Amino acid sequence: MAPTILVTGARGQIGSDLIPALRVQHPTTKIIASGRRTETKKEIELLGYEVLDVTDNLHLQKIIEQYQVGTIYHLAGVLSAKGEQNQKLCWNVNVNGLKNVLEAAKSYRLKVFWPSSIAVFGANTPKVNTPQTTIKEPSTIYGITKVTGELLGQYYAHQFGVDVRSLRFPGIISYSTPPGGGTTDFAVEIFAEAIKKGSYTCFVHPETRLPMMYMPDAIKAILKLMQAEPAAITVRSSYNLAAVSFSVAELVAEIQKHIPNFTCHYRPDFRQAIADSWPSVIDDTQARKDWGWQPSYDLTAIVADMLQHLSIRSSELVVSS
Ligand code: AKB
């Protein structure tokens, strides 16, 4: 049997969609989902779930040995907005957690995937067509932890031959889980509110333009990157990754094509400054060249698919309540 796959932060936004995709791709491989939350006995059996706090190094090692783990998808992390509200937690989980995973990868010869972010960039970075290699002076603690993580990953790859791979994700739009404390959460919340209430109050202004991606593209990118031959991976810090860029006003207009009475109000808060410090369009030429990255969903396709899935879900809720 192939070595076990361990997923940390499995109940988060990416993990909730990645685990089913991994099960399809590796039908005979044991997949252990893990996270800090305790789950019901049924869920533990169903998911193959372990309670694991990635900052607990000894427990992480115990699980790796117990299940003979060969690959870790290390998704546990604190996002940008939540990170500003709890900097200590953000540093501890994002940096010390990743360091524990990389140390384990070195000792047990594990393959590692972990997500970085466009938050590694800051106000001094070129905002449009942000290159793979450029100024990285983030203004958030989250961005600082991601720059640190990228440098750590690159160091472990070069010094110890650890097969670590990473992507700089833009905002990810998905319907499986509620958003989890990021600055790009508005691009997820807006859909549920449009369906439920016909209106949304957005915490960034309408001209805010950020790089975004639909979850199926994010999952495709992770699977493709992890399948690539090691020699093809020329970037061991983290790859720029792009799909679409749009302003909030453009997103609202697209939703209004499906829900004509939908209205959006604007009440910018502290997340506006974070959004303003990030690029608006990313250049992902290196990812396309090295391992054939190509996104599938544009804004029109994302909005149509999101509304369809969330409408089905809300009609199911009405029927079952
Ligand atoms: C966030 O908004 O914090 C994340 C990210 C872009 O890394 N979605």
CATH of domain 186-210+244-281+298-320: 3.90.25
Side chain identity at 10, as an amino acid letter? A
Q: Architecture of domain 4-171+214-240 in CATH? A: 3-Layer(aba) Sandwich (3.40)
- The model's pTM: 0.96
Residue extents of the structural domains in the chain: 4-171+214-240, 186-210+244-281+298-320
pLDDT bucket at 40, cuts 50 / 70 / 90: confident
Pocket of ligand 1 contains residue 116 by CB under 6 Å: no
* Active-site residue set: 142
Please tell me the number of Cα atoms within 13 Å of 101 on its side-chain side: 34
Residue 138 Cβ contacting ligand 1 at under 6 Å: no
Same fold, 4-171+214-240 and 186-210+244-281+298-320: no
Q: Which of 17, 310, 318 is nearest to 191 (CA)?
A: 310
For 59-116, what is each residue's pLDDT tens digit? 999 999 999 999 999 999 999 999 999 999 999 999 999 999 999 999 999 999 999 9
For ligand 1, whether the C-beta of 182 sits within 6 Å is: yes
Q: Does the pLDDT value for residue 57 go beyond 90?
A: yes
Res 48: pLDDT: 86
Ligand 1: atom nearest CA of 181 is 3
Mean pLDDT in residue range 287-313: 96
> Ligand 1 in contact with 171 (CB < 6 A)?
yes
Q: Which of 80, 125, 145, 188 has most ligand 1 atoms within 8 Å of CB, for mutation? A: 80
Does ligand 1 come within 6 angstroms of the Cβ of 118?
yes
What whole-number distance in Å separates Cα of residue 103 and Cα of residue 110?
10
pLDDT band at 318 (very low <50, low <70, confident <90, very high): low
282 Cα–ligand 1 center, Å: 14
Q: What's the mean pLDDT in 165-189?
A: 97
With a 6 Å cutoff on the Cβ, whether 79 touches ligand 1 is yes
| Ligand 1 geometric centre to CA of 279 (Å) | 12
Count the Cβ atoms, other than its own, within 10 Å of residue 106.
Answer: 16
Instruction: Specify the DSSP class assigned to residue 290.
Output: H
The pairs formed by 154-163 with CB atoms below 8 angstroms and a separation of 24 or more are: 154/236, 154/237, 156/102, 156/105, 156/106, 157/236, 158/236, 160/106, 162/102, 162/105, 162/106, 162/110, 162/112, 163/105, 163/110, 163/111, 163/112, 163/230
CA distance 201 to 130: 29
Separation of 182 CA from ligand 1 center, angstroms?
5
Query: Which pLDDT does position 144 carry in this prediction?
Result: 98
Statement: residue 42 has pLDDT above 80: no
The 10 Å CB-count burial string (b at 16+, else e) for 19-37 is beebeeeeeeeebbbbbee
Q: Tell me the pLDDT band of 37, cut-offs 50, 70 and 90.
A: confident
Question: What is the distance in A from the centroid of ligand 1 to the CA of 233?
Answer: 24
What pLDDT score does 317 carry?
Answer: 58
SS3 at position 134: coil
Residue 172 CA: nearest ligand 1 atom is 8
The SS3 call for residue 79 is coil
**End-to-end Cα separation, the chain, in angstroms:** 44
Give tens-digit pLDDT for 224-266: 999 999 999 999 999 999 999 999 999 999 999 999 999 999 9
